[in-house]
Amino acid sequence: MGSLVKTTHIPVLSREVIETLGVLPGGRYIDCTLGSGGHSQAILEHSFPGGQLLGIDADPDAVQRSENKLKSFDKSVLIVNDNFVNLRDICVKLDFFPVHGILFDLGLASPQLEEDGRGFSFQHDAPLDMRFSPTQRTTAADIVNTYPEIELARIIKTYGEEIHSRQIARYIVQKRPIHTTGQLAEIIEQATGGRHGKIHPATRTFQALRIVVNHEMENLESALSQAVSLLGFGGKIVVISYHSLEDRIVKHFFQKESKDCLCPPEVLKCVCGHKANLKIITRRIITPAFAETEMNPRSRSAKLRGAERIITPTQQYEEAAEQLNCSVGIVTGHWRRPGLIEKLRKTFLSMQHNKPTGHQK
Ligand SMILES: C[S@@+](CC[C@H](N)C(=O)[O-])C[C@H]1O[C@@H](n2cnc3c(N)ncnc32)[C@H](O)[C@@H]1O
């Protein structure tokens, strides 16, 4: 992909991530968004001795940066270049579960924004690409040059929360073909009558295109539920989001998974049978302190939420038994045979895996 640049990414809310994950020596953790390896490094330092970390990133350049940064941790780190929508698959393949904590630090790392050729930023003129991974087929150029005006307007409104979506879509269609970020930013400036507030008029449209190119919303929803099934009892999940659409998904997911019943209020007796899997541990959303935003302006919009897996080991085996169509007695009767229990969990996870999930790349 783009040439590797020297821009460093400063990990956001690093202390808060370690505290909310409750990182302990000897723990097993997954960083689903390795980036430049900043959070992973902190997790490895706090889980020493005996800690293990699985780091995942869809971007091969991020993987290379992290491999360099984390090489001194040697066998304590496993790095995988893949999309986190394949989280359960990756963990089953590597036999990396159950885990004590899982982190998602969503969005982009600083080098991705500053690298020539990635097309994420309108600050540099570059081909309109925006893919996290070169294995993905659709680029931002494909979308702006082929989607009907009405669909472009819908995307820009929904994923950019842009009030000028219809004008922008109309201008885009009139000025096609559009090949570079610079061209697109100029067209958006013309469509919106130039800059009015603090943010550049292209900011929201660029966000919307990036979300659609990378299936960010669908993949996040799918990965969150996969993550929960990989946590052991008391394991923590921590998510840092950078815009309201991501944060809404995380908030609703945590709320839903921390309820015992999802029936509508008019239903007097529960018919859904849903059981709480999580307990929310960040009663108030965590945001960076003033000192952090001064030092690292990119942290300004960060919001951290965390939850803890509350389902007991017995319930996990009940889940496994249900999935395997055998009686709980058979499963729990083998409590003292960890090999069998692991096998059951593995079968359970691979069966879960076959349920429809988000966009697979
Ligand atoms: C904000 S950065 C993470 C920075 C990292 N926490 C650090 O301290 O260096 C987000 C990273 O997540 C990756 N990413 C975003 N969505 C992804 C997905 N669906 N699957 C895998 N990686 C993803 C991006 O490529 C990027 O490198």
Which pLDDT score, from 0 to 100, does residue 361 have?
A: 42
Which pLDDT score, from 0 to 100, does residue 350 have?
A: 55
Residue 76 CA to ligand 1 center (angstroms) comes to 20
- Judging by beta carbons within 10 Å of its beta carbon (0-12, 13-18, 19+), is residue 265 exposed, middle or buried? exposed
The class that CATH gives domain 137-213 is mainly alpha
- Quote the CA–CA distance of 331 and 337 in Å, as a whole number: 10
- Quote the CA–CA distance of 175 and 280 in Å, as a whole number: 48
As a 3-state breakdown, the chain gives helix, strand, coil percent values, each rounded to 5, of 50, 15, 40
Which pLDDT score, from 0 to 100, does residue 358 have?
A: 47
Which pLDDT score, from 0 to 100, does residue 252 have?
A: 97
Which pLDDT score, from 0 to 100, does residue 48 have?
A: 95
Closest of 247, 230, 214 to residue 87, by C-alpha: 230
Which pLDDT score, from 0 to 100, does residue 198 have?
A: 76
Task: State how far the alpha carbon of 199 is from the alpha carbons of 110, 194, 254, in Å.
Answer: 18, 11, 31
Model-level pTM? 0.89
Strand pairing of 28-31 and 99-105? Answer: parallel
Architecture per CATH, domain 14-110+217-311, reads as 3-Layer(aba) Sandwich (3.40)
Return averaged pLDDT per consecutive 10 residues of the chain, 361 residues in all. Answer: 62 98 95 97 96 97 95 96 95 88 94 83 92 96 98 98 96 97 96 82 96 97 94 92 96 95 89 90 96 95 96 66 56 50 60 46 42
Shortest-distance Cα residue to atom 27 of ligand 1: 35
Which pLDDT score, from 0 to 100, does residue 359 have?
A: 53
14 Cβ partners below 8 Å, 6+ apart?
Answer: 38, 39, 42
Domain boundaries, the chain: 14-110+217-311, 137-213, 313-355
Residue 343 CA to ligand 1 center (angstroms) comes to 31
Which pLDDT score, from 0 to 100, does residue 233 have?
A: 83
Residue 133 CA to ligand 1 center (angstroms) comes to 11
